[in-house]
């Protein structure tokens, strides 16, 4: 083979490897858009039947995808998503604990037809509204990650509103909301811009997006109130901090845990 052909072959090989690595990072999962939930993204080697592992869990690492974890643990992607309450696009975070077995299912009700009972309500009587579910209790002393006005609020079930947006000025300090260790610091996750994720314990994570500059690295321990980034507008149309709190990988309303202003 000539030197010219050898050089071309090497360049093609390097480009293919880089593309493969990029795809692996992009489908993992802390994304708000993408096709990770399509059939095309499921490996042909994915198991057809699940082998549950009662009592066992696995912790998500950077670059992991739901489909890769399913293949490794001999569980179908659909079962793994169902057992952990995940919905398309099956978003998982570094540091998130994934259960490898189904939860206890509630007993099914009989399907026999029943005669409807007449309503006992009095016309004009006020309708009783069931109270909203109480938030999960946290033993973490949360603090506000930035100063500013909340311009975007959490909406349960809305994939585009999994946290709150705090408006501010470019370069303004972004601080850790609690003690923890940085499990992600990068810009490879669609929709978040320059993003930092802090793991506080086995159940709780916090995420800080749209930063202008990240000041901490993965594996670094941080203290509550320590500056971790500078506010910016990467992945956004204005200077602000997108802040999320997650319990066992699922988003919760940060304002139910942050101190009252």
Structure tokens at 253: 């309303």
Distance CA 146, CA 47 (A): 45
Is residue 194 scored above 90 in pLDDT?
yes
- Write down the CATH superfamily of domain 7-99: LysM domain (3.10.350.10)
Per-domain boundaries in the chain: 7-99, 150-256
What tens digit of pLDDT does each residue of 167-187 get?
Answer: 999 999 999 999 999 999 999
Largest separation between any pair of C-alpha atoms in the chain: 92
181: exposed, middle or buried (Cβ count in 10 Å: 0-12, 13-18, 19+): middle
Cα 30 from Cα 9, distance rounded (Å)? 34
Q: Say if pTM beats, i.e. exceeds, 0.75.
A: no
Give the Cα separation of 180 and 175 in Å (integer).
12
pLDDT digits (tens, 9 = 90+) for 134-150: 678 899 999 999 999 99
Question: Does domain 150-256 match CATH 2.70.70.10?
Answer: yes
């Amino acid at each position: 083979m000539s030197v010219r052909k050898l050089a071309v072959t090497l360049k093609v090989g390097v480009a293919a490897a880089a593309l493969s690595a990029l795809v692996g990072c992009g489908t993992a999962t802390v994304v708000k858009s993408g096709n990770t939930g399509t059939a095309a993204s499921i490996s042909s080697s994915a198991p057809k039947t699940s082998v549950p592992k009662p009592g066992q869990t696995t912790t998500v690492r950077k670059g992991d995808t739901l489909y890769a974890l399913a293949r490794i643990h001999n569980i179908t992607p659909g079962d793994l998503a169902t057992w952990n309450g995940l919905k398309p696009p099956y978003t998982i975070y570094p540091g998130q604990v994934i259960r490898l077995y189904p939860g206890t299912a509630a007993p099914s009700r009989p399907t026999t037809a029943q005669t409807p009972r007449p309503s006992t309500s009095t016309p004009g009587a006020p309708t009783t509204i069931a109270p909203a579910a109480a938030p999960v209790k946290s033993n973490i002393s949360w603090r506000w990650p930035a100063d500013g006005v909340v311009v975007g609020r959490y909406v349960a079930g809305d994939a585009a509103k999994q946290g709150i947006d705090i408006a501010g000025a470019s370069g303004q300090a972004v601080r850790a909301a609690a003690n923890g260790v940085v499990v992600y610091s990068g810009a490879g996750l669609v929709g978040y811009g320059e993003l930092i994720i802090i793991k506080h314990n086995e159940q709780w994570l916090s995420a800080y997006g749209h930063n202008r500059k990240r000041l901490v690295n993965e594996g670094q321990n941080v203290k509550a109130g320590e500056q971790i980034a500078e506010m910016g507008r990467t992945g956004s149309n204005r200077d602000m901090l997108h802040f999320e709190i997650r319990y066992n990988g699922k988003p919760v309303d940060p304002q139910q845990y942050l101190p009252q202003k």
